[in-house]
Amino acid sequence: MEDCKIQIKGLKDGKHDFTFPLDEKFFETFDNSLILKAQLLSTVELEKSKDWMNLSFSINGTVDVPCDRCLDPVTLPVSCSDSLPLREIRSESDAFNTDIVAIEPGAEDVDLSQLFYDYVCINIPLVRVHPDGGCNEQMIEKLNQLCGNKKNSGRPEDAVEMIDSVDSPFAALKDLLNNKEK
């Protein structure tokens, strides 16, 4: 298990730098993660003052997720950064406040795993498909057959409607086939 903890007890005032590599083993510890592979580096600067702490971080690299068109892994870039105050939980709502990094009162360290996971997940590009021609043709063929079977099983006009209305993967498949005919 990857360790994304920073010791805060006894930390001197000033700026402290940390780096955390995040690979697929890191993401395996979270349920329902779509991330198949990861090559990410999280760079953290923790600034500590007498009365406050601030966490600045950036996460950069790539992740592999299933392609929305053919389901094979597709490599996508991830780049994000933020700056958040780090402070002890003072009220119940603090625990759910996403504008701070909350720590238990008197905690010796802070675990940044969930924070990193959340930032990576919301910063994966929304378009998750291979570049043109990069998809798994055999899988596309299987999806094509699936389309065909559904078309034969019911009324043809319903099948066409279904293919037009569904946004993925059938609409993407239709676009692909239309392009090939040209």
By the criterion CB under 5 A, which residues form the site for Zn ion? 67, 69-70, 130, 135
Closer to Zn ion at the Cβ: 35 or 70?
70
We find the least distance from the C-beta atom of residue 175 to Zn ion, in angstroms, to be 13
Report the largest interatomic distance among the alpha carbons of the chain, rounded to a whole angstrom.
72
Closer to Zn ion at the Cβ: 31 or 132?
132
Closer to Zn ion at the Cβ: 46 or 67?
67
Find out whether 67 and 140 touch, Cβ atoms under 8 Å: no
* Other CB atoms within 10 Å distance of the CB of residue 169: 21
We find the least distance from the C-beta atom of residue 102 to Zn ion, in angstroms, to be 39
- The end-to-end CA distance of the chain, in Å, is 50
Distance CA 10, CA 13 (A): 9
Strand pairing class (73-88; 53-66): antiparallel
Closer to Zn ion at the Cβ: 100 or 166?
166
Cα Rg of the chain, angstroms: 23
Closer to Zn ion at the Cβ: 22 or 135?
135
Residue with the CB atom nearest Zn ion in the bound state: 67
We find the least distance from the C-beta atom of residue 67 to Zn ion, in angstroms, to be 3
Distance CA 150, CA 162 (A): 9
Distance CA 33, CA 114 (A): 12
- The Cβ-side half-sphere exposure at 104, using a 13 Å CA radius, reads 6
Closer to Zn ion at the Cβ: 135 or 159?
135
We find the least distance from the C-beta atom of residue 165 to Zn ion, in angstroms, to be 22
We find the least distance from the C-beta atom of residue 124 to Zn ion, in angstroms, to be 15
Distance CA 137, CA 177 (A): 11
We find the least distance from the C-beta atom of residue 178 to Zn ion, in angstroms, to be 17
